[in-house]
Amino acid sequence: MNAVGSVGNIITKYLPFWILVGLGIGLWKPDSLAGGSPYSLYVVMFLMLLMGITLTPKDITGIAKKPVSILIGTACHYTVMPLLAYGVAWLLNLGPGLTTGLVLLGCVASGSASNVMVYLAKGDLPVAVSLGLVSTFASILLTPLLVQILIGKLVSISAPSMALDIAKMVVAPVIVGLLMKIFLPKVCGYIIPFVGPVSGIALVFICSANFAAGHAAFLSSGFIIIAAVLMHNLGGFTLGYLISRFTRRTEKATRAITLETGMQNGGVAIVLAQTYFDPIAVLPSAVSGAIHVFTGSVLARYWAARTIGVEAVTTGTFRARNDEPELTRD
């Protein structure tokens, strides 16, 4: 078991490196990986099932304990990231396919890797888990609606059809996983230690296979794709942090909201791009895996190096007052 744990730690700790290796193979020998692209849907559903298994009833009730932070974080995620994606696409003058892919990436729920980063950053993990859960369920309505509003004139899309696909691909597996955790706790107890490394391997597979399938387009537009995804990601971190400070969240909650805002569920975006749009729309999400995990881990390790108190509040111009009601300082 120790050997398995060591291997798992290597996979999760160096996940950005393994994603880059996968992308490199996809660029060098695309035929060896491109065949896995059609299976992305099933891999994403499996990932969401694993996410459900790691949840507990406390994660659901936790939403009611810190509603203000959850509301602010969800609002950040579904306003900052979609609008920022649209702005970056306009600024870089991306073509219709890449614009569609970047906006779609900005409109999906937060990724499970963000919870890991919040843990490493010594942020408010319950807030992060609750945010991920709320954004996942909200994506049924908000993802197709935002895509329709932002790029509905650019591409044809059936919002009800996309909503149904998100429900089947994302929400249903999470619910099944949560039910398994409740009714089969011993079975899930054996599974949970493997969730991290298995999820890492699955993420590498999704990103690499779909990158390989669209490698030709990447060869002609690779630099601009990387620049767009990086600007979108770092912009999300920056605005998420500033909004958290402005609304006087605690330091721990600020870290959670920042990371949950800037990191997206690239796997879901890949499958939706495959299903509804031009193949080139997959590429921003395919490269986002490595970029989001790398920048998130750098930010998390920087924050982890700073000593904070359990009840410390964000310092600076927007410091929370000691007499601030608890509901507004959760």
Asked if the structure places residue 267 within a domain, the reply is: yes
pLDDT above 70 for 113: yes
Q: How many domains does the chain have?
A: 1
Domain membership flag for residue 288: yes
Structure letter (DSSP) for residue 313: B
Q: What is the reported pLDDT for 2?
A: 65
Those residues with Cβ within 8 angstroms of residue 79's Cβ, 6 or more apart along the chain or in another chain: none
User: Considering the chain, what percentage of its residues have pLDDT values greater than 90?
Assistant: 69
Residue 211 lies in a domain: yes
Better pLDDT: 215 or 309: 215
Average confidence (pLDDT) over 94-104? 96
Residue 181 sits in a domain whose CATH number is 1.20.1530.20
In whole angstroms, what is the distance from residue 190 CA to residue 36 CA?
A: 28
Q: Quick one: DSSP state of residue 109?
A: P
The residue segments making up the domain with residue 279 are: 18-306
3-state secondary structure of 155: coil
Distances (CA, A) of 287 to 21, 32, 79, 111: 12, 18, 22, 14
28 — phi, psi (to 5°)?
Answer: -80, -50
User: Binning pLDDT at 50, 70 and 90, where does residue 10 land?
Assistant: confident
DSSP state of 121: T
Distance CA 41, CA 52 (A): 17
313: in domain = no
Q: Please state, rounded to an integer, the average pLDDT across all residues of the chain.
A: 89
Q: Considering the domain boundaries, does residue 325 fall inside one?
A: no
With beta carbons less than 8 A apart as the criterion, state whether 115 and 129 touch. Answer: yes
173 in a domain, yes or no? yes
Query: Which of 224, 267, 228 is closest to 111 using CA atoms?
Result: 267
Please give the Cα distance from 163 to 144 (Å, whole number): 6
Compute the distance between CA of residue 159 and CA of residue 276 in angstroms, rounded to an integer: 10
95, with CB counted inside 10 A (0-12, 13-18, 19+), is middle
Contact 149, 155 (CB under 8 A): no
pLDDT-derived band at 327, boundaries 50, 70, 90: very low
Cβ contact 200:15 at 8 Å = yes
- The C-alpha angle 57, 204, 53, rounded to 5 degrees, equals 15
User: What SS3 class is residue 292?
Assistant: helix
Instruction: Give the mean pLDDT of 290-316.
Output: 74
Residue 215's pLDDT band, with cuts at 50, 70 and 90, is confident
Q: Give the pLDDT mean for 300-313.
A: 68
**Residue 210 domain flag:** yes
* Alpha-carbon gap, residue 131 to 71, rounded angstroms: 8
0.85 exceeded by pTM: yes
* Predicted pLDDT at 328: 47
- 180 part of a folded domain: yes
